[in-house]
Amino acid sequence: MNRRAFLTALAAAPLLGAARPRPAVAALPKAKITRVRIYRPPDLNPLFNQSNMVVTVETDIGITGIGEGGAKDTLEQCAGTLIGKNPFHVEAIWQEAYIAWFYPPGREKTHALGALDLALWDIKGKALGLPIHELLGGTARDYCECYATGGARPAGTATAPLSLKERARATMEAGYRAFRMGAGDVPIGGVFDTRTAVRRIEQDCRDVRDGVGPDGNWCIDLHQRFDLNDAVRVCKVMEPFDPFFVEDPVRDEHALMDLPRLRQMTTVPLTHGEEWGLRWDFNRLVEQHDIDFIRSTLPNVGGITELMKVAAICETHAVGIVPHFTGPIATAALVNCLSTYSGPVMLEYNYGGRPIDYLPECLDFRNGKAYTNDRPGLGVTADMSRLTQIGEVTEPGRRNVFRRPDGSLTHW
């Protein structure tokens, strides 16, 4: 290139830059939260940690978010923090709801906070026209593998008694990653002797391994029935049958003390935490590799905002996530979140693809697997005519918080 051509090109460069179209920027509108409504679904689960209460968060721009969990009283108190706030400031709302009520929330209140957090993320996704998994960085897997709590059944055997081996085989044939069973279950109110149960569980493990086959997977929930000495015994008898994981092998109250000991005494993979709430309940076990999977779930952990922090801790220490099942909306949210997680994931799913009458759009499930979709927000649509409104909040609640010089929140 000669000198004249070079100078001509140099002079034209700014004009060429000005002619290029600027990249599109997604702008969030100005918005305020105006109302929170609480609905009872037709099949309300009365358990706090498995609540399927439906909650909606309304805004002055016509976008409404949906969440799930909590109870009327806990939802009403937490909802007061939201009124008048910008719904897109999800982290700031979470922090204020957490600290504004005199002491940190217990597990029941964390569940309510999580339900509202789901709705806020749903609003943000709808405002941007994007599914939550895109807001979180995009999917890192083709689908989320599932296991069925009660196992699958072959066609035409809806009421026929089936052995553990038959149920395990049917679950594998239905496309699930693993068959799950209880630990020598007896009828509610019956006598459960952990010493004799160990021998019965050993035979059950043998039968289930035969049912899933050499390449299949199975897992077992000990439901915190065992003290440490019997937990060691039952884990040892399972070792030859290679479980995918052994869940809740000791009491939750003893977990921080007993799980590190149990980890040194058995080779079976351990998981714990379906009754835990926030990351501070269990972070030490994850950091020390005392568990192989964590059962933290939505909304129990405090919502998507908190779950992704839990996922970061687990990813740092190569611990998998096998979330506890609560309700269908929360499970749809889990698919959005955990599809972006790089570590091992398996979802507990109890609906087996059956439709849910008040949720014409919810979870995309087929052949034992849960898939993401491109619907905005959580990807959930509710038929509100099938729900019963039982509460609403339109006034701000307690706001006892201080701010640091930079505007961030701190305890009052």
Q: Which residues are marked as active site?
A: 223, 324
Distance of CA 15 to the CA centre of its chain: 51
Tokens of 129: 């026209």
Cβ contact 82:57 at 8 Å: yes
57: enclosing H helix or E strand:
strand 54-59
In terms of DSSP bridges, do strands 388-393 and 178-182 run parallel, antiparallel, or are they unpaired? unpaired
**Contacting residues for 259 by C-beta, under 8 A, at least 6 apart:** 249, 250, 270, 272, 285, 290, 291
CA nearest neighbour of 111 among 276, 299, 296: 299
Q: Is the dihedral of CA 247, 250, 256, 258 positive or negative?
A: negative
Count of other CB atoms within 10 angstroms of residue 259: 22
Name the DSSP class of 345.
B
Contact 135, 124 (CB under 8 A): yes
Amino acid letter, 199: R
**Cα 121 → chain centroid:** 14
Which residues is 55 bridged to in the sheet? 38, 67
**Radius of gyration, CA atoms only, the chain:** 25
Pair type for strands 364-366 and 347-348: unpaired
d(CA 202, CA 240) in angstroms, rounded, equals 10
